[in-house]
Chain A
Amino acid sequence: DSGVTQTPKHLITATGQRVTLRCSPRSGDLSVYWYQQSLDQGLQFLIQYYNGEERAKGNILERFSAQQFPDLHSELNLSSLELGDSALYFCASSVRDQEDSTDTQYFGPGTRLTVL
């Protein structure tokens, strides 16, 4: 158990809908990262938050947004869902702001999103 929690574990929804994925980082970790894992794209970084502020953006679609709350939990919002958004979405956390390359990211169990 990495200490990172994600809910829900599975989510099935229809095209055009909006969903919210939730993540709680390990105790003491200030950084939260979101990743998407799909069969065709592999594991891709979406976005990072550090202590409530957005720090870095990767291949995140404009239909997707995220935030980190004062209690450090984070939510990833996916809207106008398309079939291609079906994937495993991971949240990871680390202690620091990743300013050095030694900071290990610990992953949650993931949320499997299926868009029908």
Chain B
Amino acid sequence: AQKITQTQPGMFVQEKEAVTLDCTYDTSDQSYGLFWYKQPSSGEMIFLIYQGSYDEQNATEGRYSLNFQKARKSANLVISASQLGDSAMYFCATLYSGAGSYQLTFGKGTKLSVIP
């Protein structure tokens, strides 16, 4: 079974500063995907960034980057130049393709609050 651990229930960051949200995962699969989603207070789940297990370079999408350390099984999300609109819950997830089962497994999330 896949397991995702997000050890930071809540984080605060000053506006315009960078912040790192931690995520570790546990999988025995050779091929897997790692995803980060953002959930604002309005409730929708917004896809942010993806990293494949065979990707050698860390993924980047605008102000988001993923610090992927395969040997340590960690996939931390880095948000640069934080904005007030970044205040939200952030979920790390892994997609694995076990026999007959293709699903995202989510961590419990980190609540990020950006302080003006």
Main secondary structure of the interface of B (DSSP, over half): strand
Contact of B101 among A56, A90, A97 (CB under 8 A): A56
Count residues of chain B with CB under 8 A from any CB of chain A. Answer: 28
Q: Interface stretch among A14-22, A71-79, A102-110?
A: A102-110
Given the known interface contacts A104-B47, A107-B47, A110-B43, the answer about A99 and B102 at a Cβ–Cβ threshold of 8 Å is: yes
Count residues of chain A with CB under 8 A from any CB of chain B. Answer: 29
Q: Please name 29 pairs of A and B residues whose Cβ atoms are closer than 8 Å in the assembled complex, sorted by A.
A: A2-B44, A33-B103, A35-B104, A42-B108, A43-B93, A43-B104, A43-B106, A56-B101, A58-B101, A90-B45, A92-B104, A97-B102, A99-B102, A101-B32, A101-B33, A101-B53, A101-B96, A101-B97, A102-B52, A104-B47, A104-B50, A105-B35, A105-B95, A106-B47, A107-B44, A107-B46, A109-B43, A110-B43, A110-B45
